[in-house]
Chains A and B, each alone.
Chain A
Amino acid sequence: DAGITQSPRHKVTETGTPVTLRCHQTENHRYMYWYRQDPGHGLRLIHYSYGVKDTDKGEVSDGYSVSRSKTEDFLLTLESATSSQTSVYFCAISEGTGGLYEQYFGPGTRLTVT
């Protein structure tokens, strides 16, 4: 599992409240990713990080921000949660050599915005 944990694993929150999801890895991986998974869609990239304090947007970044102040932690923040952000969120890391990189996923966080 490449030593990836996510917290919380489940959260129910109200519209308009801020929410922060945490991804923690123990193996010093440089690349970390946040995805959301929704019925009828493939996994979609929200944000990714290629090092401490180095982050970039993915295809569905609106309404989300991220921070990476330490190699091991990648935080995803919903500044003001909306019902459209109800989803399952997966963190992932990339590991590999020679241009071939595997992705390993965390266990997921199920977020419900009421």
Chain B
Amino acid sequence: KNEVEQSPQNLTAQEGEFITINCSYSVGISALHWLQQHPGGGIVSLFMLSSGKKKHGRLIATINIQEKHSSLHITASHPRDSAVYICAARNRDDKIIFGKGTRLHILP
């Protein structure tokens, strides 16, 4: 079992829909990262969380430390949100463990 699991692996939705991507981890962490990678593109850091919730524009990230679970939400999704979203857990030894990513496709 991977130490960081994401679901779903692939997600297709219509423009405007509310999107949720989930991340579960099995290690103790100091921080949880959400990253975005557009097709053929580089990797961009969206959020770094150690507790609670963060919001940036239409993106919201939450984390529940007790349940070892984090979610990334996208409100009013748009085709430009189509990308791979990667969850990564930084453990207490400062090692980062990456999930395999969720491929999101938003249809116009």
Apart from A45-B95, A99-B30, A105-B45, list 14 A-B contacts with CB within 8 A. A40-B100, A42-B86, A42-B88, A42-B97, A43-B43, A43-B88, A43-B98, A44-B98, A45-B96, A101-B31, A102-B45, A103-B33, A105-B35, A105-B43
Residues of B that sit less than 8 Å from A by CB: 2, 4, 30-31, 33, 35, 42-45, 48, 50, 86, 88, 90, 94-101
Q: List, in ascending order, chain A residues with CB within 8 A of B101's CB.
A: 42
Contact present for B48 and A105 (CB under 8 Å): no
Bound-state CA distance A33–B64 (Å) is: 28
Residue in chain B with minimal CB distance to A35: B98
Min C-beta distance of B87 to chain A, whole Å: 9
Bound-state CA distance A91–B7 (Å) is: 26
A104 on the interface (CB 8 Å rule)? yes
Residue in chain B with minimal CB distance to A96: B48
Among the listed B33, B35, B45, B100, which residue makes an inter-chain contact with A41, where contact means beta carbons less than 8 Å apart?
B100
Contact present for A42 and B4 (CB under 8 Å): yes
